[in-house]
Amino acid sequence: MNLRVIFGSIFCLFVIGFNPIRALTQADSISKFESLILDSENAFKSGKWTQSIALGESALKACHLRLSVNNPRCIYIMKNNSLAYEKAGELVEHADEVERAYRVALLQFGPSHHFTVKTREAFYQLAVKQNRYSETIPIVIALIHQERTNANDQHKILNWFIELYALYKKTDQIQYEVPTLESIATLTKKIMGADTESYKQATIALADCYCRQKDYTKFDILISRYSLDISCG
């Protein structure tokens, strides 16, 4: 092939829109992007939290520019970043990013996806630290459902219900206290037995709640059934 043919072929490529210089630049950019994601992932897996955060934040910016906020690869980076913030004790400092990671994962993948589960756990820790009780309630309910549909550890579920009850009290949502206490009493009886002090305390708390809500019929039935030495009035 002579030079005229070679230059003619190159000229044709430019005419149809192919720019070899631009193609090389784009390929190099993609390579740097992939390398950045890999480096951030390696730092995360190695437990190098400060390095993981720095690389992860850079990788996320690049991912949003190259792909989109809702892209699974970007959400994966957001998930890792949230967990790195938690491990580094920097949840509050990165509150917006932690909450956004959970909201985006929940919207794109639903409540049971691994990314949603992990970002939910980080957001839960953040909400507790910031005393965001009302926002913590739906997270705890989701954590109860998550535990029931996976490992179904009855002790963990009981502990989540106890926390849920405390949150309802702190937010003055008395209408939800009774069903939550009923769940606590049922689980306590199932796990520890009806003759234990834990179950007795659970029934006393439930009776007190019946009394405060003026459900005297259920109050009388409960104290009679378990011979509880408490009064209402």
113 and 165 fall within a common domain: no
Averaged over successive runs of 10 residues, the pLDDT of the chain (233 residues) comes to 50 45 50 90 96 96 93 97 98 97 97 95 96 96 94 95 96 93 96 94 93 92 90 85
Alpha-carbon distance 52 to 2, whole Å? 54
Alpha-carbon distance 116 to 96, whole Å? 16
Alpha-carbon distance 49 to 29, whole Å? 26
Which pLDDT score is estimated for 16?
47
6 and 114 fall within a common domain: yes
159 and 113 fall within a common domain: no
Which pLDDT score is estimated for 233?
73
Which pLDDT score is estimated for 15?
45
Single residue among 99, 114, 130 that ends a domain in this structure: 130
Single residue among 95, 130, 165 that ends a domain in this structure: 130
Single residue among 130, 157, 187 that ends a domain in this structure: 130
7 and 117 fall within a common domain: yes
What pLDDT, in 10s, does the model give residues 14-50? 444 444 444 434 555 667 889 999 999 999 999 999 9
Q: What domain range is 83 assigned to?
A: 1-130
3-state secondary structure the chain: CCHHHHHHHHHHHHHCCCCHHHHHHHHHHHHHHHHHHHHHHHHHHCCCHHHHHHHHHHHHHHHHHHCCCCCHHHHHHHHHHHHHHHHCCCCHHHHHHHHHHHHHHHHHHCCCCHHHHHHHHHHHHHHHHCCCHHHHHHHHHHHHHHHHHCCCCHHHHHHHHHHHHHHHHHCCCHHHHHHHHHHHHHHHHHHHCCCCHHHHHHHHHHHHHHHHCCCHHHHHHHHHHCCCCCCCC
Contacts (Cβ under 8 Å, ≥6 apart) of 177: 165, 168, 169, 209, 213
125 and 14 fall within a common domain: yes
143 and 177 fall within a common domain: yes
125 and 140 fall within a common domain: no
Total structural domains within the chain: 2
Contacts (Cβ under 8 Å, ≥6 apart) of 200: 226, 228
Query: 165, 172, 201, 166: which is closest to 185 by C-alpha?
Result: 201
Which pLDDT score is estimated for 170?
94
117 and 141 fall within a common domain: no
202 and 105 fall within a common domain: no
96 and 81 fall within a common domain: yes
2 and 97 fall within a common domain: yes
Q: What CATH number is attached to the domain comprising 44?
A: 1.25.40.10
| Predicted structure pTM score | 0.80
Which pLDDT score is estimated for 106?
96
123 and 138 fall within a common domain: no
Give φ, ψ of 113 to 5 degrees. Answer: -70, 150
